[in-house]
Amino acid sequence: MEWKKRDIGKIKWKKRDIEGLFNLNVHELGETANSLNTKLATFVVNRHINYTDVCISKCPLCAFHNDNGYLMSVKEVVRKAKEAVNAGATELHIVGGHNPEVNLEYFEEMFSAIKAKFQVVVKALTATEVHFLSKIEKCSVKEVLSRLKAAGLDAMPGGGAEILDDRIRRIICPNKATSDEWLAVMRTAHKMGIRSNATMLFGHVEDVKHRARHLYRLWKLQEETGGFLAFIPLVFHPENTELKRRGLVKEKTSPVDVLKTIAVSRIVLHNFASVRAYWVMLGEKLAQIALNYGANDVDGTLMEERVTHAAGAKTPLYMPEDKLMSIIKGAGKIPAERDTFYNILQVIP
């Protein structure tokens, strides 16, 4: 591939061209993708807080939902926020499920209580949770988001995107927002000044045609709004999921497939600031290699990850900052701590 950085930035993608990238050699793709990044690789000091594991959508892809599960009180969430801020977190990543016991007021109370006490970024609620809230409150997505923003919502995580193709969604997540609805929530958020991430869950029943469509739709929305910050490819973990029980997925996809997908993502999503090597799903070793195949961020300390671990992840629940930095250094990159919005807080030579 003889592509130059400035040429890739000008490409107006077509779906079939993206699909064609998946047929190229993984090392060639990796070299091109890596040339689009600088020598810095970033991480964030953050905490995940899963306020509930009750979810009426019961997606066959998910092992986290629990009919007899919990719902945290606002007090409990604030207690976890305090622990995180005391440990140096600059970001709280607050997500849960589609729990009919919650309403807008619950989140308004939660976000305003956090904001009244701490200086920390609240990155919360996936587009599917926002869509669900608009249904139970019988109001528009715009109204939900403006009330959440007024209460302290700073940014949104990229979860719930799965694969933006409804034929695949009917198998892996039939009861939640459709692909158009996911994209519409993000479009509304971006137009209101709420920036977000985007994910793609891969390695289950989809093929590269669906991944290409997903990347195309994200690239196109980003051309329109410019509101996306990071793209996070999520490797499907089959343990304890309905997809595995039904025999639709047997095991995790291969490391080469992961690297290829990361490299293609970096090349296609040249209009995103970052493509992430999410250590929880990749494992430390593959995350390190991915930093040379187009990823430029390893996510964060997390402090307690539950969603992927429910589906069999063997990675730790928590990654200390010095470990994140050593993964980055080992990849031949320079570690830099960032905030949610990719402002560099410190470079660690």
Contact status, residue 152 vs residue 122, Cβ threshold 8 Å:
yes
Within 13 A of 93's CA, how many CA atoms are on the CB side?
22
Closer to ligand V47 by CB, 32 or 141: give it.
141
Sign of CA pseudo-dihedral 196, 183, 34, 314: positive
Q: Considering the complex, what minimum distance in angstroms separates the CB of residue 238 from ligand V47?
A: 7
Q: How far is the CB of 278 from ligand V47 (least distance, A)?
A: 6
Give all strands of the β-sheet with 155-156 in edge-to-edge order.
Answer: 46-50, 91-95, 121-124, 155-156, 195-202, 228-235, 274-275
**Smallest separation, CB 6 to ligand V47 (Å):** 29
Cα distances (angstroms) measured from residue 280 to each of 95, 277, 298, 328, 333: 16, 9, 9, 15, 20
| Pick 32 or 54: Cβ nearer ligand V47 | 54
Tell me how far apart the alpha carbons of residues 136 and 124 are, in angstroms, rounded to a whole number.
18
Question: Least distance from C-beta 315 to ligand V47, angstroms?
Answer: 12
Residues that bind ligand V47 (CB under 6 A): 61-63, 93, 126, 157-160, 162, 197, 199, 201, 232, 234, 236-237, 241, 278, 299, 307-308, 311
* Nearest approach, Cβ of residue 163 and ligand V47 (Å): 9
Q: Which residue has the CB atom at the shortest distance from ligand V47?
A: 159
**Least distance to ligand V47 from the beta carbon of 71, Å?**
18
Residue closer to ligand V47 by CB (options 36, 234) is 234
As a whole number of angstroms, the distance between CA 294 and CA 42 comes to 13
31 vs 239, which CB is nearer to ligand V47?
239
Enter the tokens of residue 42: 């970033």
CB of 186 or CB of 311, closer to ligand V47: 311
Q: With contact defined as beta carbons under 8 Å apart, do 145 and 113 qualify?
A: no
Q: Are 276 and 230 in contact (CB under 8 A)?
A: yes
Residue 75's contacts (CB-CB under 8 Å, 6 or more residues apart) are none
| Least distance in angstroms from the C-beta of 162 to ligand V47 | 5
Q: Which residue number, 58 or 142, has a Cβ lying nearer to ligand V47?
A: 58
Please list the helix, strand and coil fractions of the chain in percent, rounded to the nearest 5, in that order: 45, 15, 40
Least Å distance, CB 27 to ligand V47, is: 26
Give the count of alpha carbons within 13 A of 255, CB side only.
11
Give the shortest CB-199-to-ligand V47 separation in angstroms. 5
Q: Which is nearer to ligand V47, 19 or 91 (CB)?
A: 91
Residue from 234, 230, 145 nearest 187 by CA: 145
Nearer to ligand V47, 32 or 217 (CB): 217
**Secondary structure class of 81 (helix, strand, coil):** helix
144/177 with CB nearer ligand V47: 177
Residue keyed to tokens 């195949």: 293
